[in-house]
Amino acid sequence: MDSPDPSPVIELIEAFRRSKAMFVAVSLGIFDALEEAPSHVARLAHQLQVEAEPLERLLNTCVALHLLRRNDTRYENEPVASTYLCRASQKTLSGYILYSNAVLFRLWTFLEDAVREGNPRWKQAFGTEGTIFDHFYRTDEAKQDFLQGMHGLGLLSSPKVVEAFDLSGFRQLVDLGGATGHLAIAACERNPDLRAVIFDLPQVIAAAQLYASLSSVRGRVEVKPGDFFQDDLPEADLFAMGRILHDWPEPKIQALLAKIYRRLPPGGGILLAEKLLFEDKTGPVSAELQSLNMLLCTQGKERTFTEYRQLLEEAGFRRVRGRMTGGPLDAVLAIKP
């Protein structure tokens, strides 16, 4: 009997090498430097203050990964790198890549222990305790990297989330834990009669105000500081939460959903932007990997639509609908009777 094709295993053996090569190229500023001007190895090595020969290996790897192209001995960015890997791009994912390189890559080293013990690995990886947000916001640089990363991912996911359902009947949206406001902004862009509030922790407010002020709907988006677990919620007929519930275990989620339910008027809604697992929990791969990521980082996990529906119905919501969007996040909408 012929042996099975080993390529899936070989590809997984190499997978972390591919991502780490991209992480390091972003961290060193290679794509930023080449966006200013294409460059030869020697000149780029001097500019970045690294050794030329190892840099050439990394550059050639990025060519093989279709992130760079080489003309004779000069390297330049491919369009995908210019768009998503340069810090100055409006659509950059560099913040999330830097966060992945500095934080997630280290946490994933301890996946075996997380599976054995069933809890996050912050203490083991970094020697510190605290909530996940204590680590995201431990320094200004870490906060900016994380928020920029979430914004880049949000630009890919939020338009698809707000397109998943007809939201035209709502008038006031409050985006709980809205970070840079990409979900609130996308909702207002699609629904001209909608106004929105970005509601997040005080240390996030400056970034939220900046991104809101740069948007085309800045006259309909405001920013308010607050902790949605501790503080009174602003008035709304639609609450939105993107990548919030997956951070927490069921009791915490139940308390938050009950609080939102009480605050909503009859006919009000709640919009969730999360990765949805298949009902048999065998995919999608990105959602399964994110669920492992939640094991390493938080007290939460990814869930199926049925699991979210049960949580929402326990809180009193009805007419719960879910949509796979084809983007990084899926959508769930529920209504208060």
Q: Report the C-alpha gap between 80 and 334 in whole angstroms.
A: 37
204 and 239 both lie in a single domain:
yes
Q: Encoding tokens for residue 279?
A: 């009902």
Please tell me the pTM assigned to this model: 0.93
Q: Report the C-alpha gap between 124 and 110 in whole angstroms.
A: 8
β-bridge mates for residue 200, sequence order: 225
205 and 291 both lie in a single domain:
yes
Which of 142, 125, 124, 141 shows the shortest CA–CA distance to 133? 142
pLDDT score of 140 more than 80: no
263 and 181 both lie in a single domain:
yes
Q: Encoding tokens for residue 178?
A: 């809205």
3-class DSSP state of 140: helix
114 and 215 both lie in a single domain:
no
58 and 121 both lie in a single domain:
no
Q: Encoding tokens for residue 227?
A: 């902790």
Query: What is the rounded average pLDDT for all residues in the chain?
Result: 95
- Average pLDDT of 173-193? 97
Residue from 135, 151, 182, 246 carrying the catalytic annotation: 246
Q: Is residue 89 part of a domain?
A: no
Q: Is residue 232 part of a domain?
A: yes
Q: By residue range, what is the domain housing residue 331?
A: 134-335
| Other Cβ atoms closer than 10 A to 323 | 16
The band of 134, judged by pLDDT with boundaries at 50, 70 and 90, is low
Q: Report the C-alpha gap between 243 and 248 in whole angstroms.
A: 10
pLDDT 10s digits, 150-173:
888 999 999 999 999 999 999 999
Q: Report the C-alpha gap between 167 and 322 in whole angstroms.
A: 14
Q: Encoding tokens for residue 55?
A: 């840099």
- Does 246 participate in catalysis according to the annotation? yes
192 and 121 both lie in a single domain:
no
**How many folded domains does the chain comprise?**
3
Cα three-residue angle 275-235-328, rounded to 5 degrees: 15
DSSP letter (8 states) at residue 202: G
pLDDT 10s digits, 9-46:
999 999 999 999 999 999 999 999 999 999 999 999 99
Look at the alpha carbons of 128, 130, 131, 137 in this order and tell me if their dihedral is positive or negative: negative
DSSP letter (8 states) at residue 101: I
Which of 93, 225, 239, 217 shows the shortest CA–CA distance to 170? 239
**Domain termination residue (choose one: 55, 84, 113):** 84
